[in-house]
Chain A
Amino acid sequence: MLDEIISDDELLFRGIIESNWDFENDRPSSAIFKDSKGVSVDRSAGRNEEDCVAFLREKRDFFKVCSIEVKRVRENSAFVLYKYLLDNIYHSEIHDSIEKIQIKGSKAKKLRDNLFCIYP
C-alpha cells in the first residue's frame, strides 16, 4: 500500500479502448469520465511514464493511454481518491466531488480537455 495522500504533481493514467476514441478530433471522448462507481485510474506514485504505461498494458492491450495531472483534476473541482486493489496497488478513482461520485456534463468535458495522450 502507498501513501494515502496523492500529491498535486502526480499523474493519473487511464487506458482507452478504441470505442471511446474520438477519431474526428483525435482525442478521447469525455464518455470515459462517466462511471457511477468512480473513474478508475492508476496513480504514478514515483514511477516514470514508461513503467506506468507498461503496467497498465499488462492487463489489457489498450488502444491509447492518457494521463492527467492531479492538480488539473482538483482545479476542476473533481476529487481524487486512492483506492488500492489486491492486484493493483496504484489503483485510484476520480469522483465528481468528495460527496458525489458520478461525473456529468461540463466537468467530464473539462477533465477530457486536460488529458494528454502518452501512448502510443
Chain B
Amino acid sequence: MDGTRLLNSTLLTMGLVVTSIPSNTVGATPLNTLASTVKYDGSIFTTRFLSQNSYSLDKLKFNKQKLKTYKNLKKKWDGYDGDEFDEDVIHIVECILSDLTIQPQVFPTSRGTIQIEKYFTDENFYEIEIGKDEIFAYIVTNEEEIEREVEIEELISLLSNLNV
C-alpha cells in the first residue's frame, strides 16, 4: 500500500478525510498529529468529518444527473399539466448545488421551477424553489423562520449558516 492510500485509509478509520494532499508530500506525517487540520511542510490541509450529511461527491453527481433528465421532460410529464424546464433554471440550480457542502434533494415542480430541499430535523430544514425570475426560500431553524424571495448570493450564505 503506498503512502497516500495508507494515510487516507487510516484517516477514514478515524472518521476524517483529507480533502487535498499533494502527492509529493504524503508519507511523512505522524498520524497522531492529525486533528481537524493536517499540517505538513508548513501547509494546512482542511479535513471534514464523515457523517450521513457530509460532503458527498456522489450525491452532487446524482443531483446533476437528475437535473439533466429534466431537460428531456415534455409537457404533462407529471401526469397532469406540468410545464417543460428552461435550461437557464437548470443551470442556476447546478450552480447552487455546486456551492453546497451538504447536498439537498432535488424535485421538479409542475410550473417548471426546481425545488431543492433538505430536512435535518422537523424544526431545522429548508425548501427552496428556484425559477428563472425568482428564488423563493422557506428556511426554518431553531432560531428563526425565513419565507421570502432571495438572491443567489444570499441563499448560499443562508444555507451555509444552517446549524446542522
Contact = CB atoms under 8 A, between A and B. Distances in A.
Contact of B107 (A15, A31, A37, A109): A31
A29 to B, nearest CB: 4
B109 A35 contact: yes
A24 B119 contact: yes
Contacts of B81: 35, 37, 40
Interface residues of A, number: 27
B138 interface: yes
B117 interface: yes
B115 A30 contact: yes
Given A30-B127, A37-B81, A105 B105 contact: no
A32 B81 CA distance: 12
B129 A35 contact: no
A106 B147 contact: yes
A15 B113 contact: no
B66, B110, B136 pick with most chain A CB within 10 angstroms: B110
Contacts of B105: 22-24, 29
B75 to A, nearest CB: 12
Given A104-B129, A105-B147, A25 B109 contact: no
Contacts of A15: 79-80
Contacts of A60: 79
A71 interface: no
Interface string A52-63: 000000011010
Nearest to A63: B79
A29 B79 contact: no
A40 B138 contact: no
B115 A17 contact: no
B111 to A, nearest CB: 4
B111 A102 contact: yes
Interface in A1-52: 15, 17, 19-20, 22-25, 29-32, 34-37, 39-40
B113 A34 contact: yes
A31 B115 contact: yes
20 contacts: A19-B107, A20-B78, A20-B107, A29-B117, A30-B117, A31-B107, A31-B108, A31-B109, A31-B115, A34-B115, A35-B81, A35-B109, A35-B110, A36-B83, A105-B127, A105-B137, A106-B138, A106-B145, A106-B147, A109-B138
